[in-house]
Amino acid sequence: MKIGIDKVGFFAPHLYLDMTELAEAREVDPGKFTIGIGQEKMAVAPLTQDPVTMAANAAWEIVDDVDRDAIDFVIFATESGIDHSKSAAIYVHQLLGLKPGARCIEVKQACYGATAAIQMAKGHVALHPDRKVLVLGSDIARYGLNTGGEVTQGAGAVALLIGQDPKIMALEDDSVYLTDDIMDFWRPVYSEMAFVDGKFSNEQYLSFFSRVWEQYKVQNNLTLKDFAAICFHLPYTKMGLKALRTVLEEGDEVVQERLQANFQKGQIYNRNVGNIYTGSLYLSVLSLLEQQDDLSAGDRIGLFSYGSGAVGEFFSGILQPGYKTHLHVSAHDALFAARQALTVAEYEEIFQSGLPTDGSAMELNIDLDPAPIVLAGVEDHMRKYVNKASEGM
Ligand code: COA
């Protein structure tokens, strides 16, 4: 039985900051941000968007009534969760109008969480082939104003529907995965901001990639030439490029050109959204599939997932016939085209604003946010969500 990605939805908030403007404000050569780190724009979440609303908006794009009947498992991967106890998946379940006969959970392992969720989903579908699993990867990446990581922030979500006979990509049973207890990036429960040892994290990312890739080739009897493309977790696009470059020499000139060209297509969305942690690898897959016309059914796409702390995994998927017709290219073009640029001062103001933490109530102006699903405020320690598009659902 083929199991894999049946649908992919994506959402980023309607506000962004241009990295050239950030560079100028921080008195850095813009080339460092746009070339050295490889980021053009970063999505900025207003208070009306949090990890729940972003995930719900990404899923709203793809979930129809047939899916509502089939989805009996929602797995929400995040490292910017809003509650230590209740899973974010339950809010999304309600906002989408999913059936009560469903399991809802949240999973965490830094940026690796959505990959763990997908593998769990595959197991569920293998046992119950008529059912579907909604996997959500949604995060707001915050390192702090004037920090080294500031240029690698972002906000957004990817929603993946996992089922049998998938319309987009069948996932192979070929994973190689690895865990090691390291402190390259973490966020203690008392901190709004992540702590990161950027250089160490880069080294570990490359080391994990090398270790899983070497084992993958042996375990699956495959080599670089068997891949039409390799997509990477992209905390910033240069990170994936560095990883790709470590293996390019294993292929001839044709293979090298193909993988480099496809890497370029697979980083377009990430370059313009920034780091979205759990959804980042799958945003790159989406960027590749939507922006590259030279791929064909049967092509093998490699996926490298990395979550600091750390867990790494390499696996692959096979593109399915007609996959392109099941993507939402024009909706995503429209999403990017409609975004509004912020000045650095406006971004800093949003960054420093926050929801109350003392139990007081706050009402937010949801008319300023064009997204269908928004956070309308906080009352009695509870977030109030609204789905503006759900009338008549
Ligand atoms: N034009 C072009 N490139 C330039 C440049 C310029 N004017 N100035 C600098 N660069 C290049 C550097 O040569 C370097 O390239 P290299 O990495 O290929 O050597 C790159 O820009 C970055 O410069 P660097 O001095 O290393 O930047 P930094 O000390 O500010 O750190 C990060 C960059 C990415 C490490 C930092 O932003 C960070 O820690 N981000 C968080 C990463 C993360 O999230 N990790 C965990 C999840 S995997």
Residue 86: which residues within 8 A CB-CB, separation 6 or more? none
Of all protein residues, the one whose alpha carbon is nearest to atom 23 of ligand 1 is 36
- Yes or no: say if 237 and 39 are a contact pair by the CB < 8 Å rule: yes
Distance 235 CA to ligand 1 centre (A): 11
The Å distance, Cα 125 to ligand 1 centre, comes to 41
CB 278 within 8 A of CB 292: no
Q: Which of 27, 37, 244 is the best mutation target for the ligand 1 pocket, counting ligand atoms within 8 Å of the beta carbon and taking the most?
A: 37
Q: Are 228 and 301 in contact (CB under 8 A)?
A: yes
Alpha carbon nearest to ligand 1 atom 20, residue: 36
Predicted pLDDT at 193: 87
Closest ligand 1 atom to residue 277 Cα is 47
Residue 335 tokens, joined: 């999403």
CATH code of the domain made up of 3-169+327-391: 3.40.47.10
171-321 CATH = 3.40.47.10
- Residue nearest atom 44 of ligand 1, based on CA coordinates: 235
Q: CB of 325 within 8 A of CB of 341?
A: no
DSSP state of 36: I
- Whether 177 contacts 14, CB under 8 Å: no
32 within ligand 1 shell (Cβ under 6 A): yes
For ligand 1, say whether the CB of 232 is within 6 Å of any of its atoms. Answer: no
User: Could you tell me if the CB of 196 is within 6 A of ligand 1?
Assistant: yes
35 lines ligand 1 (CB under 6 A): yes
Of 270, 332, 227, 268, the closest CA to residue 111 belongs to: 270
Given a cut of 50, the residues of the chain with pLDDT beneath it are 392-393
**Do 3-169+327-391 and 171-321 come out as alike in CATH topology?**
yes
Nearest to 140 by CA among 60, 61, 78: 78
Please state, in angstroms and rounded to a whole number, the distance separating the CA atoms of residues 267 and 264. Answer: 5
Residue found under tokens 């990509």: 169
C-alpha 162, offset from chain centre: 15
58/243 Cα distance (integer angstroms): 28
Residue 176 Cα to ligand 1 midpoint, Å, equals 28
Counting from 1 in the atom list of ligand 1, the atom nearest the Cα of 184 is 46
Closest residue by Cα to atom 6, ligand 1, is 32
Element (H, E) at 38: none
The C-alpha R_g of the chain, in whole angstroms, comes to 20
CA–CA distance, 374 with 387 (Å, rounded to integer): 7
Rounded distance from Cα 213 to ligand 1 centre (Å): 24
Give residue 390's pLDDT.
86
User: Which of the residues are catalytic?
Assistant: 79, 111, 233
204 lines ligand 1 (CB under 6 A): no
pLDDT reported for residue 391: 61
Instruction: Identify the pLDDT of residue 258.
Output: 98
Domain boundaries, the chain: 3-169+327-391, 171-321
Q: Answer positive or negative: Cα dihedral of 88, 327, 291, 336.
A: negative
Q: What is the pairing mode between strands 132-141 and 71-77? A: parallel
Residue 225 to residue 222: CA distance in whole angstroms: 8
